[in-house]
Amino acid sequence: MKIIVLLGAPGSGKGTIASRLARCDAVRHVSSGDLLRERVRHADTPASREAAEAMRKGALVDDHVVDELMLEHLQACAPGETLILDGYPRNERQAATLEEEAAIVGADITAAVWLEVPEPVLISRLAGRRVCSVCAANYHVENMPPRVEGICDRCGGKLYQREDDQPEKVDHRLHVYRDQTRALIDWYASRKLLVRIDSKKDADETAACVARAVLA
């Protein structure tokens, strides 16, 4: 069982690249953001209300809530499978938890892929991002539009703009990234697991680069 961690700022393409890699056999995309959005939509508990509030503000959700959601997937992973983790870990404490849990279940963290994108590109990607309300597929109004405006190509679901993609929330998310998540680049570099990928190109080209680097 293998784990590949995707690192990168909001808008760096983690979800888009992970969903393309998951077209390969025995590769599974696990997105902490999608799992959290599903959880807050379906569970009305104090913890899920708190998570929803953090997400609305662009802050990080409590580590324990996210760890629990992600580790469930790790524990259910079949031998021979590769998990692509998108959005987790997001700080050093989560990275340490992942490392411990991977050792317990006998999974190898084989690479941490850093999707590098200049900040102006991130901002324009987030401003134009639209997401399917049913299957969570991502689009962009200019760079990756759906065939029919406002409708998901894959499942026919309605597309919407995430509340945290509003400009003031985006500023805060980028600040949180610089403050807490960026440190993971050094964390994984010191473990000789870091793979840097230029992610400002087209999604298919970037996904092919990542696949060559870490799935071969």
Applying CB under 6 A, does 97 fall inside the site for ligand ADP?
Answer: no
Catalytic residue among 14, 20, 39, 125: 14
Between 33 and 194, name the residue whose CB sits nearer to ligand ADP. Answer: 33
Q: Which two tokens stand for residue 42?
A: 């379906």
Question: In the annotation, is 173 catalytic?
Answer: yes
CB of 94 to ligand ADP, least distance (A): 6
Listed in sequence order, the DSSP H helices in 59-202 are: 63-75, 92-105, 119-128, 167-176, 183-190
- Which residue in 18, 30, 61, 152 binds ligand ADP (CB under 6 A)? 61
DSSP state of 111: E
Applying CB under 6 A, does 184 fall inside the site for ligand ADP?
Answer: no
Applying CB under 6 A, does 55 fall inside the site for ligand ADP?
Answer: yes
CB of 44 to ligand ADP, least distance (A): 18
Applying CB under 6 A, does 66 fall inside the site for ligand ADP?
Answer: yes
Applying CB under 6 A, does 60 fall inside the site for ligand ADP?
Answer: yes
CB 5 within 8 A of CB 115: no
Closest to 62 (Cα-Cα) out of 39, 84, 42, 85: 39
Catalytic residue among 2, 20, 39, 90: 90
CB of 119 to ligand ADP, least distance (A): 14
SS3 76: coil
- Which residue in 17, 58, 84, 117 binds ligand ADP (CB under 6 A)? 58
Question: In the annotation, is 14 catalytic?
Answer: yes
Distance, in Å, from the CA atom of 75 to the CA atom of 22, rounded to the nearest integer, reads 19
Within 104-163, the residues that bind ligand ADP by CB under 6 A are none
Distance, in Å, from the CA atom of 122 to the CA atom of 169, rounded to the nearest integer, reads 13
Question: In the annotation, is 162 catalytic?
Answer: yes
Backbone angles phi, psi at 74, to 5 degrees: -65, -45
Distance, in Å, from the CA atom of 111 to the CA atom of 189, rounded to the nearest integer, reads 10
DSSP state of 166: S
Active site residues: 14, 90, 129, 162, 173
**What is the contact surface with ligand ADP in residues (CB under 6 A)?**
10-11, 14, 32-33, 36, 54-55, 58-61, 66, 87-88, 90, 94, 164, 173
